[in-house]
Structure 1
Amino acid sequence: MSSDLASDAADAAGASGSPDGSPDGARTATAPAPAAPGRNGLDRYFKITERGSTIAREVRGGVATFFTMAYIVVLNPLIIGLAPDADGATLGVPTVAAVTALVAGVMTILMGVVGRYPFAIATGLGLNAFVATTLAPQMTWADAMGLVVLEGLIITVLVLTGFRTAVFNAIPGQLKTAISVGIGLFIALIGLVDAGFVRRVPDAAGTTVPVQLGVGGNLQSWPVLVFAVGVLLMAVLVARRVRGALLLGIVVTSLLAVIVETVAGVGPTVADDGTVNPNGWSLVVPALPDSVASAPDFGLLGQFSLLGSIERIGAVAALLFVFTLVLADFFDTMGTVVGVGAEGRLLDDKGRLPGIGRVLFVDSLAAIAGGAGSTSSNTTYIESAAGVGEGARTGLASVVTGVLFLLATLFTPLVSVVPSEAAGAALVVVGFLMITQIRTIDFDDHGIAIPAFLTMIVMPFTYSITNGIGAGLVAYVAIRTAQGRARDIHPLLWIVSALFLAYFAISPIQDLLGVA
């Protein structure tokens, strides 16, 4: 791993990019361009020309990524900021919003400068819900964030020792492709659900069908119409290879949403008084804000207790919680790097990302920063694929995204204008771009095809990248062994599969150990 941090000489050999900056162009690999004496320092440092990109594409991609994940500045405070801890204390929405944007901005810039790839970082969804619903109710918020810091420290050690990189390289190439496809399906489902196009069937409906189209099987709301228009608009722009298709689509769809809200007065799905309107906007009401800027409060920085949880719940319970956080964060990031890297043609012929050690190192530091900032563990975001879809291939795009997050600490009202219906439309289109990789999987070899299939379907169906990777790896080890081809299994995969079995059985293990 130290060699990855010290040098990125392999980047030029394994990197490639889009010849035209279009989403379709992103699917075509190009050979790295030879060094040109006239290139400036920025170009040479980020290897912009070598990866077939331009500064304009990087900026455009960075902006697109920001707009597809800016919702976290609004959503994370609703998950973390309102949840009470064991003592009944809450962190507060405004303060969590400020530190969410701050940590995302700093760590995404660090990813761009050190990792030099177009990966953006922010509070991990799922991980924040676990912290809010499982950890905090059993301890103080400071104790819970201390566990997140511990998780980050452990992952950092795994990176520095080379273990995390070794596991990444041990996964068969076709399973890595399946991870990419699964993430494509996953983010498409996220877009559909966030927009209200796909919804959970109410328990009172008396049916075993888990999901449905819109409300009661019908598309009957203005927000869903805006989403549908956004998907069609972006699909047309992508099909016509329009430069900046996704970013342009997000902007136009957001403006349409503002107009619709101004005229129709739709309102939110859940009003301040708790009234539920199933035809409302899912998260952000796209109205022009009353104010452009607001002063951020960073008072939550440093408010964590590293070992306080052990005194509160005991060492065994704390260890199990840290194990859950480590495994989820470990493989969520790995899946994201594979998926986004493959979409940008950044992987080498063995499915490896040159210089991945740097990327994983920054990601591990982000977990520590998330706990230290009381935002929950920060991780690499699958929405980075939106920027890659716009032609981004280097860390310069991440620097742009990070700067926008830092500005968001001051301009949170403006960030709130972009509704999830607009961002969700972009995710659906990006999902399509990612699943096209499925054609490279050998479905005649059931030993790899079935694990690949499980990887692809478990991700969206369980709403978890980690669950999909775990199901695929466990199935791969089991089937290859049953085929008499255990020698094909990398030794590390035996260890990882055993850890995943423990991960899937964490509740019985807790019961066996008498942990609440």
Structure 2
Amino acid sequence: FAPTQAATCLVAGVLTIAMGLATNYPFALACGMGLNAVVAFQLVAGLKLPWQAAMGVVLLEGIAITVLVLTGFREAMMDAIPLALKRAIGAGIGLFILFIGLHSAGIVKPGPPGVPVTLGDLTTSPVAVAVFGLLLTLWLQARGISGGLLIGILASTALAIVVNRVTGGAAFPAPGQAVLPASLVALPDFSTLGAGLDLSVFARLGFIIAAVTIFSIMLSDFFDTMGTVIGIAGEAGWLGADGTLPRLNRVLLVDSLAAVAGGAAGASSATTYVESAAGVAAGARTGLASVVTGGCFLLALFFAPLAGVVPPAATAPALIVVGYLMTRIVRDIPFHDLDEGFPALLTLAMMPFTYSITNGIGAGLVAYCFIKLVRGRGSEVRPMMYGTALAFIVYFAAPWLAGR
């Protein structure tokens, strides 16, 4: 755990500071949990790759994305998406964040066979802490008090520590959660640095399976970032009338280099992550916020024992409130128009229901192109959109192709 945490903080700190300085936007970067799950379950558990070779896959997909940025393809792809779908992507990410918050709070949980999700046990201590934090955060937001999200997290963590001590550790049994550590400071362990230079994936899996694997992860990384940037920029009011974002290419270049750095450091792909929305919701509007956030990541290198103190129930209220703030843009989506309304709804639904930003974007883009074609309006779609729709069809078929 300690080496991975050190590598994550180092990559996140350096690249988040770079994002602030290069773009003047308050986007923060860290290892994306969705891609972490792909690496753990698809590459290591499914394809039996050593973790070092899995990091090599992340390194290769990061290089591929960087090439796409340098050629201008990635920016052109983002600009080609119609405004209604961009708004749906932003609102879908809001629903996704809200769902993550509800799950982290224990308010929803996996259901019995045949029921995907169900109401959690509302009598548990984590739920009580989360509800307390949510009510406090909403009160602070309603009163217009600055820093409401952070205050809610800190107050909820303090309550969790007290409850955990009173119950003898039974309330939050996970190691380190809601428990003050014996030592606050520890030297970082950088033993994973360079692990991602293992490029043996082609020798281990064969060219076709390796290529399909790298492509699927690249596409996921590509569109996770795209959705996050569009969603947060839309909420902050940075998008132009045509839905474009100034200095977008700089954002994408830093993000792409973060994927390379994350893979090489053995920390998995670093990406512009959706929690950046919390900073924007709290008032962040310039790159100074990213510089400060990156500095905090670097300071965290020496405070590893504190990392596990904050339980998910304490951060859940902030996610729920930020999810609400991002979802408000749904009011501007023309749902009465089948061409744009149905793809937008599909995007909104697929993100939380499949636990993936990329799946939501892919489903919406494919549906958009299909409906335009069958209604005889195919000329209204930019050629790059068709190419992206085909790429997503390959992405969705990747498990079948890999099995071949």
| TM-score interval, normalised by the smaller of the two chains | over 0.9
Separation in 2, partners of 1:431, 1:483: 34
Q: Is the 8 A contact 2:87 2:329 kept in 1?
A: yes
Corresponding position of 2:44: 136
Equivalent in the alignment of 1:209: 115
Which of residues 192, 196, 199 is equivalent to 2:109? 199
The equivalent position to 1:227 in structure 2, one of 96, 108, 130, is: 130
Listed as ranges, the matches of 1:30-429 within 5 Å are 93-137=1-45, 138-203=48-113, 208-215=114-121, 219-267=122-170, 280=172, 285-429=177-321
CA change 1:282–1:210 in 2 (3 A) is farther
| Distance in 1 separating the partners of 2:325 and 2:169 | 32
The amino acid of 2:85's aligned partner reads L
Alpha-carbon offset, residue 454 of structure 1: 0.4
Asked if the contact 1:150–1:306 (Cα under 8 Å) also holds between the matched residues in 2, the reply is: no
User: What is the aligned-residue identity percentage?
Assistant: 51
Tell me, yes or no, if the aligned pair for 1:282 and 1:421 is still in contact at 8 Å: no
Answer yes or no: is the 8 Å Cα contact 2:108–2:117 preserved in 1.
Answer: yes
Q: Which one is further off, 123-132 or 303-312?
A: 303-312
Per-residue deviation, 1:407? 1.0
Between 1 and 2, higher relative CO (CA 8 Å, sep ≥ 6) is seen in 2
Q: Is the 8 A contact 2:107 2:127 kept in 1?
A: yes
Is the 8 Å Cα contact of residues 254 and 419 (structure 1) preserved in structure 2?
yes
Higher mean alpha-carbon deviation, 298-307 vs 230-239, is at 298-307
Matched, 1:440 2:332: yes
- CA gap of 1:364–1:283, structure 2 versus 1, over 3 A, is farther
Q: Residue by residue, what CA displacement relative to the aligned partner does 1:234-262 show, whole Å, maximum 9, x if unpaired? A: 11211221111111111111111111112
Shift of 1:196: 1.3
Greater than 3 Å deviation, 4+ residue runs: 279-284
More helix by share: 2
Q: Does the Cα contact within 8 Å between 1:192 and 1:198 map onto a contact in 2?
A: yes
Q: Which amino acid aligns with 2:239?
A: L
For the residue of structure 2 that corresponds to 1:288, the secondary structure is coil
Q: Decide whether the 8 Å contact of 2:101 with 2:316 is kept in 1.
A: yes
**1:466 aligned to which of 358, 362, 366:** 358
- Are 2:358 and 1:452 aligned? no
Aligned length: 402
Contiguous gaps of at least 5 residues in structure 1: 1-92, 268-278
Aligned partners of 1:107 and 1:190: how far apart in 2?
A: 25
Q: What's the offset of the Cα at 1:480?
A: 1.3
Distance 1:356 1:330 in 2: 14
CA offset digits 1:126-183 (Å, max 9, x no partner): 2112112222342322222111111000000000000000000000011100001000
Separation of aligned partners in 2, 1:227 and 1:395:
31
Q: TM-score, normalised by structure 1?
A: 0.76
Equivalents in 1 of 2:175, 2:351: separation in Å?
23
Q: Structure 1, residues 407-433: CA drift from partner, whole Å, max 9, x if none?
A: 111102223222111111100001111
Q: Which runs of 5+ in 2 are unaligned?
A: none
Q: Distance in 1 between matches of 2:175 and 2:379?
A: 50
CA-atom RMSD, angstroms?
1.4
Q: Over alpha carbons, which structure has the higher Rg?
A: 1
What is the CA distance between 1:356 and its match in structure 2?
A: 0.5
Q: TM-score scaled to structure 2, two decimals?
A: 0.96
| Structure 1 counterpart of 2:39, one-letter code | V
What corresponds to 1:3 in structure 2? Answer: none
**Amino acid across the alignment from 1:210:** P
Counterpart CA distance in 2 for 1:151 and 1:388 is 29
Distance 1:222 1:144 in 2: 38
1:315 & 1:470 partners in 2: Cα distance?
A: 25
The CA deviation at 1:447 is: 0.8
In structure 2, the CA distance between the partners of 1:323 and 1:283, relative to structure 1 (3 Å rule), is farther
| Deviation digits for residues 260-294 of structure 1 (CA, Å, limit 9, x no counterpart) | 11222344xxxxxxxxxxx6467862111111111
* Alignment check: 8 A CA contact 1:146 1:305 kept: yes
> 1:282–1:180: structure 2 CA closer, same or farther, 3 Å change rule?
farther
Q: Which amino acid aligns with 2:275?
A: E
Deviation at 1:305, TM superposition (A): 3.4
- Would the aligned equivalents of 1:98 and 1:296 in 2 still touch at CA under 8 Å? yes
| Secondary structure of 1:347 counterpart | coil
